[in-house]
């Protein structure tokens, strides 16, 4: 398939995603009909804002959203605030949290991998500990770290998003979960490499343990990249729990806020931004997966 054909196929796939998001957005907003007065009470909502979302059919709301799509850059929320600046601010905080989490997860994963390889007698202990962390819900990890690092040791703030230090604790919460996943993935892959001819030959030539470890680690690069891309997408699409736990006003928190406010424009713009990130990383993940398959054959 030519490069143009692949590009057209990718755009067609993303178009289908956008269509599904349009229907999902209207459906989510339509489910909560009948109590819009409670939402606008005490806020800057107007009578016109209330009339725009009250007692309308699903297809009427769908038609209005589709007709309004060309003017997305000028969209405002029900409270009259511009949509795009809110998305920009929330995206920046979620991107910072995601980047810091991925860096820390790589560090934790490699640290566990080195410990497992350097001290073989404790390999089972390290693996069991990693599996225990992997099966622990992320909110429990976050609560424990808040108690330990924020309340007991007073090393980091327990929440907020106004300074860089406030992102370390939530990033560490995510990194512990995904770092042990990275360790378990690469460690399993390395055990498979132990039976490969080039590793057996390296041992026969009496190469040092560290050189063999680095050689195996280099052969784990493709699985690592694929894992990294998959986790980056899942972090962007599933940051609601961590952002809520640590009071970070990112994309996850903004989406929950939009749903509670019946704000169809804010819901749609948020879902489209998340879909763009997930779709782009999915395309990269599929590309590297094909490269890995071609290399193995």
pLDDT at 46: 55
pLDDT at 40: 47
What is the pLDDT confidence band of residue 272, given thresholds at 50, 70 and 90? confident
Question: pLDDT (tens digit, 9 = 90+) per residue, 104-149?
Answer: 988 998 898 888 887 878 888 888 888 898 888 888 888 899 999 9
Per-residue HEC secondary structure of the chain comes to: CCHHHHHHHHHHHHHHHHHHHHHHHHHHHHHCCCCHHHHHCCCCCCHHHHHHHCCCCHHHHHHHHHHHHHHHHHCECCCCCEHHHHHHHHHHHHHHHHHHHHHHHHHHHHHHHHHHHHCHHHHHHHHHHHHHHHCCCHHHHHHHHHHHHHHHCCCCCCCCCCCHHHHHHHHHHHHHHHHHHHHHHHHHHHHHHCCCHHHHHHHHCCCCHHHHHHHHHHHCHHHHHHHHHHHHHHHHHCCHHHHHHCCCCCHHHHHHHHHHCCCHHHHHHHHHHHHHHHHHHHHHHHHHHHHHHHHHC
């Amino acid at each position: 398939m030519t490069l143009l054909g692949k590009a057209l196929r990718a755009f067609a796939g993303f178009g289908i995603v956008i269509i599904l998001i349009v229907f999902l957005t209207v459906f989510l907003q339509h489910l909560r009909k009948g109590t819009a007065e409670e939402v606008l009470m005490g806020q800057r909502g107007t009578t016109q804002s209330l009339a725009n979302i009250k007692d309308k059919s699903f297809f009427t709301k769908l038609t209005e959203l589709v007709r309004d799509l060309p003017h997305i850059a000028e969209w405002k929320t029900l409270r009259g605030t511009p949509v795009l600046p809110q998305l920009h601010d929330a995206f920046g905080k979620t991107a910072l949290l995601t980047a810091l989490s991925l860096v820390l997860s790589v560090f934790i994963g490699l640290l566990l991998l080195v410990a497992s390889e350097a001290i073989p007698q404790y390999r089972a202990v390290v693996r069991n500990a990693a599996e225990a962390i992997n099966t622990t819900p992320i909110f429990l990890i976050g609560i424990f770290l808040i108690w330990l690092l924020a309340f007991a040791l007073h090393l980091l703030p327990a929440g907020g998003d106004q300074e860089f230090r406030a992102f370390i604790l939530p990033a560490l919460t995510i990194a512990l979960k995904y770092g042990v996943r990275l360790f378990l993935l690469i460690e399993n892959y390395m055990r498979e490499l132990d039976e490969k001819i080039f590793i057996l030959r390296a041992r026969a030539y009496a190469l040092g343990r560290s050189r063999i470890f680095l050689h195996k680690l280099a052969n784990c690069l493709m699985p690592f990249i694929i894992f990294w891309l998959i986790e980056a997408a899942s972090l962007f699409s599933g940051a609601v729990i961590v952002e809520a736990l640590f009071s970070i006003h990112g994309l996850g928190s903004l989406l929950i806020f939009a749903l509670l406010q019946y704000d169809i424009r804010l819901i749609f713009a948020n879902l489209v931004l998340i879909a763009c990130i997930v779709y782009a990383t999915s395309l990269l993940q599929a590309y590297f997966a094909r490269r890995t398959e071609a290399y193995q054959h």
